[in-house]
């Protein structure tokens, strides 16, 4: 038997031992935990085990927690350290883990125990969190195929295993395709317009690669500045095309996600039909706030109708400016970010690069932690723990009296071995440990920001972040706070567990508002060279530009959301053409139509390798909720109003998934959500 002494993945006594865990530990640890988990399930489903909370539900949750935690560590390392050995270790065990969860979801004996608990006299005496867990479990068993005929269950299980493998492969292909491209520039004339730190990073990248000149890649810290600032149209077009065709038929066949997409859609459709649903979107919506695909489609189309006139105006102004001021008679997709930046500079007299010089990493982190401390009456302090990379920092959140609330890892910089984007994930979830005590929650906060480059007075300069980067950091921290500030003690609904997927973005989007409060911004700004805070006049220009092209941004998100919804509801994966559907959606809601060779679906990780299938609309749905919540602080006349902050903590963050999200919203706002605040915050109301 594998034990803690020989395998740190089996040690649940504290924080993950990232300094000791290696890929070789994965197989023996996961196999050992699977053996333990199956024995536990067998014991708890025995006839003599009573269907009570203390005798059945609680021991099951506690007993499976270690397995989930260990596999979570493996999945995390696959995301942030995707070297061949970790990829191999993860993929070797993925089918086994998927098989176990499919078995669990179809275990009729477990299902019967939960139904018996639901029907018992004890159910009425359970607290609301416990009742919610029982109800969720019964719903999820039905969605996992527990009520399928025995003859159909093996096929359902095969589908789950294959979908897990396809999702992992989709993500790996995208990362490999992103890493495979590099544009080497040797002519300094092609660097015109690029900020100095971007040039320096490209020069350092070329030196590391052993080539002369400047190396540009498709990772965000390299790609975005080229599209936004590079005066070389050739360079912008080269990177745009490479980015737009990643993991498609235009690259190596082994990295093409096209066949994976079709297979994923076919399997999801088969799964939905087996469960008695018309399509996969209906499966996806069952545990969400939204009641039907019709309701979601109507919501998106209503938003599109409100946003599209503003988007059309945005684009018309940009085209007019590009023709008159930049000599671009035809505005190509690789010109849009560049021309938009020029228009922003002309209209508001500042560039994003100018702003970026003021947001140095130490000041931004201090400002972020200050917001958390003022809003929720806690302290954020540096802490120590083993980490997976030298870049990673670790912090603790305490009460003013010094009691531990939770801890989090912060991994800010982009790396070639780290998947793109920004995300929060859980390392440990808060729960009551029997017979006594509370297990403190721990979160991972991951971003892909540019690392520090250059020196000042012989010392390395701190990293500088764009205002968008700062907003991203606040967003992910909002997710983290949802996980860390919970007061729920039952694992199944603690933190983000059990929260409807279309409400889970509420706390993250809520935090973004503080990136636009002057007192917050001034407190987290210090010019990278002079140390001076951001001038108030520059902030006012940023504020005036806040809703610059917000119409175009809104319809772009609606385009992705509607495409996702229709793809999983009205689309035939066997005979339909994915790109035709996307073109149809764009004709309805979009104002910018990319070239025919653009392969957006091939990199749409949210729905093909994440949890957002038929759920991408959640971003706009939750934006309505978060804007309406922030409006409560506006109505109180203070973004840090103590009573409102306490109520937001008590009614939204601390309850986690212990009650329906709509009930939590109503408890905070005293009414149902309204779209007015979102439209006002986005500048999509006529003056």
Among all residues, which ones are annotated catalytic? Answer: 476
Selected from 1.10.1370.40, 3.30.450.40, 3.40.50.300, 3.40.50.2300, the CATH number assigned to the domain covering 361-370+377-497+506-528 reads: 1.10.1370.40
Contact 148, 106 (CB under 8 A): yes
Q: Which helix (H) or strand (E) is 404 found in, with range?
A: strand 404-413
This prediction's pTM: 0.91
CB atoms within 10 A of CB 311: 24
Contact 634, 516 (CB under 8 A): no
Selected from 1.20.1050.40, 3.40.50.720, 1.10.10.10, 3.30.460.90, the CATH number assigned to the domain covering 8-147 reads: 1.20.1050.40
Helices (H), ranges, 503-549: 506-512, 518-523, 536-544
Q: Show the tokens assigned to 403.
A: 């009691």
| SS3 per residue for 61-108 | HHHHHHHHHHHHHHHHHHHHCCCHHHHHHHHHHHHHHHHHHHHHHCCH
**For residue 2, what pLDDT is reported?**
67
Q: Which helix (H) or strand (E) is 111 found in, with range?
A: helix 108-119
Q: Sheet harboring 423-428: ordered strands across?
A: 379-382, 393-398, 404-413, 442-449, 423-428
CB atoms within 10 A of CB 595: 12
Q: Show the tokens assigned to 54.
A: 């203390």
Contact 511, 477 (CB under 8 A): yes
Per-residue burial over 596-624, b = 16 or more CB atoms within 10 Å of its CB, e = otherwise: eebbbbbbbbbbbbbebbbbbbbbbbbbb
**For residue 391, what pLDDT is reported?**
96
- Regarding beta strands 455-456 and 459-460, do their DSSP bridges make them parallel or antiparallel, or are they unpaired? antiparallel
- Closest among 507, 528, 517, 540 to 370, alpha carbons compared: 517
Rounded to 5°, the CA angle 420-424-430 comes to 155
Residue span(s) of the chain under CATH 1.10.1370.10 come to: 255-350+550-616
Residue span(s) of the chain under CATH 1.10.1370.40 come to: 361-370+377-497+506-528
Rounded to 5°, the CA angle 390-203-333 comes to 100
Full DSSP string of 299-315: HHHHHHHHHHHHHHHHH
Integer angstrom CA distances of residue 362 from 430, 447, 462, 528: 29, 16, 7, 11
Residue span(s) of the chain under CATH 1.20.1050.40 come to: 8-147
Q: Show the tokens assigned to 128.
A: 């609301």
Integer angstrom CA distances of residue 671 from 600, 621, 640: 39, 16, 22
Rounded to 5°, the CA angle 216-220-225 comes to 65
Q: What are phi and psi of 112, to 5 degrees?
A: -65, -40
Q: What are phi and psi of 504, to 5 degrees?
A: -70, -20
Q: Show the tokens assigned to 642.
A: 């103590």
**For residue 687, what pLDDT is reported?**
56
**For residue 435, what pLDDT is reported?**
73
**For residue 459, what pLDDT is reported?**
85
Q: Which helix (H) or strand (E) is 393 found in, with range?
A: strand 393-398
Selected from 1.10.3720.10, 1.10.1370.10, 3.40.50.300, 3.60.20.10, the CATH number assigned to the domain covering 255-350+550-616 reads: 1.10.1370.10
Residues pairing with 408 in the sheet: 395, 443
Q: Which residues are CB-neighbours of 522 under 8 A, at least 6 positions away?
A: 533, 534, 536, 539
List per-block mean pLDDT (blocks of 10 residues) for the chain, which spans 687 residues.
Answer: 83 96 97 98 96 97 97 98 96 96 94 97 97 97 95 96 97 97 97 96 96 97 97 98 98 98 98 97 97 97 96 98 97 98 94 94 98 97 98 98 98 95 97 88 97 84 96 98 97 97 96 98 96 96 94 97 97 94 98 97 97 96 96 97 97 97 97 93 82
């Amino acid at each position: 038997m594998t034990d803690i002494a020989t395998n740190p993945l089996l040690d649940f006594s504290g924080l993950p031992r990232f300094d000791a865990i290696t890929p070789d530990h994965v197989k023996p640890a996961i196999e050992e935990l699977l053996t333990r988990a199956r024995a536990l399930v067998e014991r708890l489903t025995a006839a003599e085990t009573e269907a009570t909370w203390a005798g059945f539900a609680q021991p099951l949750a506690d007993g499976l927690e270690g397995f989930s935690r260990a596999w979570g560590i493996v999945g995390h390392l696959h995301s942030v350290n995707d070297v061949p050995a970790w990829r191999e270790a993860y993929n070797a065990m993925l089918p086994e883990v998927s098989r176990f969860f499919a078995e669990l979801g179809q275990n009729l004996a477990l299902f019967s125990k939960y139904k018996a608990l639901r029907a018992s006299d004890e159910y009425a005496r359970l607290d609301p969190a416990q009742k919610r867990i029982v109800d969720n479990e019964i719903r999820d068993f039905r969605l996992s195929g527990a009520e399928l005929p025995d003859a159909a269950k093996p096929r359902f299980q095969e589908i789950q295993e294959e979908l897990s493998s396809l999702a992992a492969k989709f993500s790996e292909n995208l990362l490999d395709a992103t890493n495979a491209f590099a544009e080497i520039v040797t002519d300094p004339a092609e660097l015109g317009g690029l900020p100095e730190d971007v040039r320096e990073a490209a020069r350092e990248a070329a030196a590391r690669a052993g080539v002369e000149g400047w190396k540009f890649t498709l990772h965000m810290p390299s790609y975005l500045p080229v599209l936004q600032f590079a005066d070389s149209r050739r360079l912008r077009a080269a990177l745009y095309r490479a980015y737009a065709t990643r993991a498609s038929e235009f690259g190596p066949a082994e990295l093409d996600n096209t066949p994976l997409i079709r297979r994923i859609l076919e399997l999801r459709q088969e799964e939905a039909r087996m469960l008695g649903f018309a399509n996969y979107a209906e499966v996806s919506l069952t545990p969400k706030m939204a009641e039907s695909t019709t309701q979601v489609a109507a919501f998106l189309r209503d938003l599109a109708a409100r946003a599209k006139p503003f988007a059309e105006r945005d684009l018309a102004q940009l085209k007019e400016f590009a023709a008159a001021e930049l000599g671009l008679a035809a505005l190509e997709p690789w010109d849009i970010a560049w021309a938009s930046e020029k228009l922003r500079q002309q209209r508001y007299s500042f560039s994003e690069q100018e702003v970026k010089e003021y947001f140095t990493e130490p000041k931004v982190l201090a400002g972020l932690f200050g917001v958390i401390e003022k809003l929720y009456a806690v302290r954020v302090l540096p802490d120590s723990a083993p980490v997976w990379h030298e870049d990673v920092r670790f912090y603790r959140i305490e009460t003013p009296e010094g009691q531990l609330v939770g801890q989090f890892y912060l991994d800010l910089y982009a790396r070639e071995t780290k998947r793109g984007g920004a995300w929060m994930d859980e390392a440990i979830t808060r729960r009551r440990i029997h017979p006594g005590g509370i297990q403190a929650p721990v979160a991972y906060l991951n971003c892909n920001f540019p690392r520090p480059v250059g020196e000042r007075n012989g010392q390395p300069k701190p990293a500088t972040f764009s205002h968008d980067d700062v907003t991203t950091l606040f967003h992910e921290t909002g997710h983290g706070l949802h996980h860390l500030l919970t007061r729920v003690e039952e694992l199944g609904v603690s933190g983000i567990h059990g929260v409807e997927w279309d409400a889970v973005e509420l706390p993250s989007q809520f935090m973004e508002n503080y990136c636009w409060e002057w007192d917050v911004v001034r407190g987290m700004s210090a010019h990278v060279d002079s140390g001076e805070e951001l001038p108030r006049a520059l902030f006012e220009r940023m504020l005036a530009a806040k809703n610059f092209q917000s119409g175009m941004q809104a319809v772009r998100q609606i385009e992705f959301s509607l495409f996702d919804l229709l793809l999983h509801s009205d689309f035939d994966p066997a005979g339909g053409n994915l790109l035709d559907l996307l073109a149809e959606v764009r004709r309805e809601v979009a104002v910018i139509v990319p070239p025919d060779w653009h392969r957006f679906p091939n990199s749409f990780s949210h729905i093909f390798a994440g949890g957002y299938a038929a759920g991408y609309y959640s971003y706009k749905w939750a934006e309505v909720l978060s804007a309406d919540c922030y409006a409560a602080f506006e109505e109180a006349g203070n973004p840090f109003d103590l009573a409102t902050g306490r109520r937001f903590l008590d009614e939204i963050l601390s309850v986690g998934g212990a009650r329906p999200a709509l009930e939590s919203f109503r408890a905070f706002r005293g009414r149902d959500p309204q779209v007015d605040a979102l439209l006002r915050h986005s500048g999509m109301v006529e003056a």
